[in-house]
Amino acid sequence: MTIKFDIDKFVTHLERYKSDLPTLYNWNAKIDRLVELETLTENQVTEINALSAYEKELQLKKIVGQKLNDVLKTNPDLFDKLCLWVIKDWGGITTASDNDTISLIKDFLNQDRPNFNRIASASKVGAYLFPDRNVIYDSRVAYSINWIILSENAGQQYFPIPEGRNSKMSAFDLNVLIRLKNISVYQPTEITYLDHRLYIKNSDKKLFINKKDAYFELNNLVKQISQKLWKGDIEKEQNLYFTEMILFSIADREVFMDITKKYGTN
């Protein structure tokens, strides 16, 4: 059963940022290798690199996404190489071996509710392939979503946040803020209950969405938000990456500001 959220509260919160998305978004990926991957010409690389980070991203979503779909069945070797480009060159995730990453993608594409392990990597490919139904589930997107749930009372359950390396987000661990707001969930009736090594894990189950369902639920939530947030703009309603790009962009800036204001000394 799908978990319920107050979609209007998400939309109201994000409404203030949507017109600024072209300037908020600043991810600037390296694209030179797309020439050898038969996806861009050298002239296209030059032209796309001259665009703003936002416009560059929109071009990549369309061109690389289309190429991935074209070679998914017809050229598995090129498909695998493009998936690695999405995760490593575009996404900046370089720690895992290529063989492990390719196996990860194959498993991801064959499951309705993929394994949460390395979801930040796998979902990047999913979002490029099927932007109308998949978003990128990374630490920034989950952080922003959870902050809206927490600060706007937009739901009763929260999303597990994948590990990230952002120091500002680490400084204000949202999991701690969530637990503090819901402190009654963690208050034992007897101190001896704290001797149980799974005490926190079992308590967390009351607040956090099960990892096996998290990606399904996030996709469903962002789809509902997009339909209202971008109502009347078919391209933005259907392509979930517009909403995802806002969530990604505000995590370590606007959300950080919100947190420090909310918990600052009055």
Question: 9-55, pLDDT tens digit by residue?
Answer: 999 999 999 999 999 999 999 999 999 999 999 999 999 999 999 99
Residue 2 lies in a domain: no
Range of the domain at 80: 7-262
Q: What is the pLDDT of residues 90-114, one digit of tens each?
A: 999 988 899 999 999 999 999 888 9
Beta-bridged to residue 18, according to DSSP, are none
Angstrom CA distances, 88 to 1, 2, 85, 95, 243, stand at 35, 33, 5, 9, 23
Give the global pTM: 0.95
116 with 59: CB under 8 angstroms?
A: no
Residue 1 lies in a domain: no
78 with 93: CB under 8 angstroms?
A: no
Q: Mean pLDDT over all residues of the chain?
A: 94
Angstrom CA distances, 180 to 158, 174, 184, 234, 251, stand at 13, 10, 9, 40, 20
**Calpha distance 204→121 (Å, rounded):** 25
Residue 137 lies in a domain: yes
Residue 190 phi, psi (nearest 5)? -135, 140
* Number of domains composing the chain: 1
Residue 64 lies in a domain: yes
pLDDT score of 3? 83
The one-character DSSP state at 90 is I
Three-state DSSP class for residue 5: strand
pLDDT surpassing 70 at residue 1: no
Residue 43 lies in a domain: yes
The amino acid occupying position 139 is S
Q: What is the CA radius of gyration of the chain?
A: 20
pLDDT band at 248 (very low <50, low <70, confident <90, very high): very high
